[in-house]
């Protein structure tokens, strides 16, 4: 019968003296501070915004070619190479887009929000300005997504590099055949999220996000978007702790009924206003950055409810297919009570 050597005895006693500790959890404030230098992530969409990921438009827009007009789509684009597309009648100049983007970042700075810029832009990825889609902040860190179309695939790399450089934990990278874009992810409350499934978000991508959130005690509600809608943030954005702005024409009836069950007041945009008004950003409960001029009637409704609106000129960038919400990816928000 074998006996324990002195080495084995000391080894075992060392392990017992310095045991492993599962608690407190990774996402707890003290562990975040101790290991990662501060609290990272979000568990809501309206708490005071502290840090946000953005990209100022730049040389990547040089890929746009005004001679490649697609009249039948009222767009421009490279159909054969699948490298770019742009909606609308005209291609705004780089200077026009930079001016409006700078105005947005200035407004965020005035709200004491720290803007983190991408370290670099993947060559030719002209939609990198829409940083919302490439990562999702959850408690304790980020989920790097996997973008759907070829024109966007490749944005994930620079986002990963930037998050690593600033020390933000990456809890998951969507992999395999999963598709997930952050514009289709919304915190309804600290224990419930909605994910809008569409051509840009499949069940495998949803499942991978759900694995991370289930470990944090968060429920995922799957919402199949109507028609060819891409992201849920074109139909619903939280603007206060218990208030969402919605376009009811783009959400299924069962989900519209679910919102009041969760204690959420759904404020419908006025039918005469532009649908892009939904694509706004809460910088703290009841205060939102919203594109100027789209929503005179909806703005009146929100004002009566005590919602503060900071108007931002952003129409040139919206022509590219995304608004203020799309152009901002929160990295840190304060909790809400």
Over the stretch 304-314, which tens digit does the pLDDT of each residue have?
A: 999 999 999 99
As a whole number of angstroms, the distance between CA 159 and CA 139 comes to: 18
- Cβ neighbours, 10 Å, residue 303: 11
Q: Could you tell me if 232 and 201 are in contact, meaning their C-beta atoms sit under 8 angstroms apart? A: no
Mean pLDDT for 87-91 is 87
- Alpha-carbon distances of 197 from 136, 173, 194, 218, 221, rounded to whole Å: 15, 18, 9, 18, 10
Helix (H), strand (E) at residue 86:
strand 85-87
Range of the domain at 191: 35-333
Output phi, psi for 329, to 5 deg: -115, 100
Q: What's the CATH code of the domain at 301?
A: 3.75.10.10
Output phi, psi for 297, to 5 deg: -80, -40
Over the stretch 38-79, which tens digit does the pLDDT of each residue have?
A: 999 999 999 999 999 999 999 999 999 999 999 999 999 999
Task: Check residue 311 and give its pLDDT.
Answer: 94
Complete edge-to-edge strand list for the sheet that includes strand 287-291: 281-284, 287-291, 308-312
As a whole number of angstroms, the distance between CA 301 and CA 320 comes to: 28
Lowest-pLDDT choice from 44-53, 109-118, 139-148, 293-302? 293-302
**Structural domain includes residue 25:** no
As a whole number of angstroms, the distance between CA 307 and CA 299 comes to: 9
Q: Which distant-in-sequence residues (6+ apart) come within 8 Å of 163 by Cβ? A: 53, 135, 142, 144, 170, 331
**Structural domain includes residue 29:** no
Task: Check residue 275 and give its pLDDT.
Answer: 66
Task: Check residue 3 and give its pLDDT.
Answer: 79
Kindly write down the DSSP assignment for every residue of 89-126, as one continuous string: S----HHHHHHHHHHHHHHHHHTTPEEEEPS---TT-T
Indicate the average pLDDT of the chain.
94
Given a cut of 80, whether residue 35 has pLDDT beyond it is yes
Task: Check residue 237 and give its pLDDT.
Answer: 97
**Structural domain includes residue 95:** yes
Q: Quote the number of domains for the chain.
A: 1
pTM attached to this predicted model: 0.94
Lowest-pLDDT choice from 62-76, 189-203, 269-283? 269-283
- Cβ neighbours, 10 Å, residue 176: 10
Given a cut of 90, whether residue 299 has pLDDT beyond it is no
Mean pLDDT for 272-283 is 86
Task: Check residue 69 and give its pLDDT.
Answer: 94
CA-wise closest residue to 50 among 130, 9, 107, 109: 109
* Rg, Å, the chain Cα set: 22
Given a cut of 70, whether residue 1 has pLDDT beyond it is no
Given a cut of 80, whether residue 274 has pLDDT beyond it is no
- Alpha-carbon distances of 155 from 79, 127, 185, 323, rounded to whole Å: 20, 9, 18, 18
Helix (H), strand (E) at residue 329:
strand 329-333
**Structural domain includes residue 8:** no
**Structural domain includes residue 24:** no
Q: Could you tell me if 336 and 241 are in contact, meaning their C-beta atoms sit under 8 angstroms apart? A: yes
CA-wise closest residue to 326 among 192, 232, 220: 232
**Structural domain includes residue 132:** yes
Given a cut of 80, whether residue 280 has pLDDT beyond it is yes
CA-wise closest residue to 178 among 214, 196, 202, 159: 202
**Structural domain includes residue 88:** yes
As a whole number of angstroms, the distance between CA 183 and CA 45 comes to: 12
**Structural domain includes residue 11:** no
Q: Could you tell me if 205 and 180 are in contact, meaning their C-beta atoms sit under 8 angstroms apart? A: yes
Mean pLDDT for 13-34 is 94
End-to-end CA separation in angstroms for the chain: 61
């Amino acid at each position: 019968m074998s006996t324990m050597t002195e080495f084995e005895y000391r080894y075992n006693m060392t392990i017992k003296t310095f045991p492993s500790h599962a608690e407190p959890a990774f996402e707890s404030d003290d562990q975040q501070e101790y290991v990662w230098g501060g609290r990272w992530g979000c568990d809501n969409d309206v708490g005071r915004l502290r840090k946000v990921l953005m990209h100022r438009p730049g040389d990547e827009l040089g890929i746009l070619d005004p001679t490649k007009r697609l009249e039948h789509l009222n767009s421009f684009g490279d159909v054969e190479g699948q490298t770019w597309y742009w909606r609308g009648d005209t291609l705004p100049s780089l200077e026009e887009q930079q001016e409006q983007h700078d105005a947005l970042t200035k407004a965020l700075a005035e709200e004491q929000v720290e803007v983190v810029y991408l370290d670099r832009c993947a060559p030719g990825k002209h939609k990198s300005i829409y940083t919302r889609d490439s990562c999702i902040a959850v408690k304790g860190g980020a989920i790097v997504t996997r973008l759907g179309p070829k024109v966007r695939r490749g944005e994930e790399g620079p986002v990963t590099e930037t998050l690593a450089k600033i020390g933000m934990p990456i809890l998951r990278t969507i992999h395999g055949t999963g598709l997930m874009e952050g514009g289709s992810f919304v915190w309804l409350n600290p224990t419930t999220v909605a994910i809008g499934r569409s051509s840009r978000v499949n069940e495998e991508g949803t499942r991978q996000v759900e694995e991370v959130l289930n470990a944090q005690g968060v429920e995922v509600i799957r919402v199949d978007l109507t028609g060819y809608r891409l992201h849920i943030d074109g139909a619903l954005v939280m603007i206060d702790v218990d208030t969402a702005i919605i376009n009811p024409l783009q959400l299924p009836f069962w989900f519209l009924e679910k919102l009041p069950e969760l204690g959420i007041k759904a404020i419908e945009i006025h039918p005469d206003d532009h649908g892009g008004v939904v694509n706004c950003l809460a910088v703290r409960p009841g205060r939102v950055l919203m594109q100027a001029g789209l929503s005179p009637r909806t703005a009146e409704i929100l004002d009566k409810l005590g919602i503060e609106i900071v108007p931002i000129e952003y129409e040139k960038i919206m022509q590219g297919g995304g608004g203020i919400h799309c152009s901002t990816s929160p990295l840190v928000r304060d909790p809400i009570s």
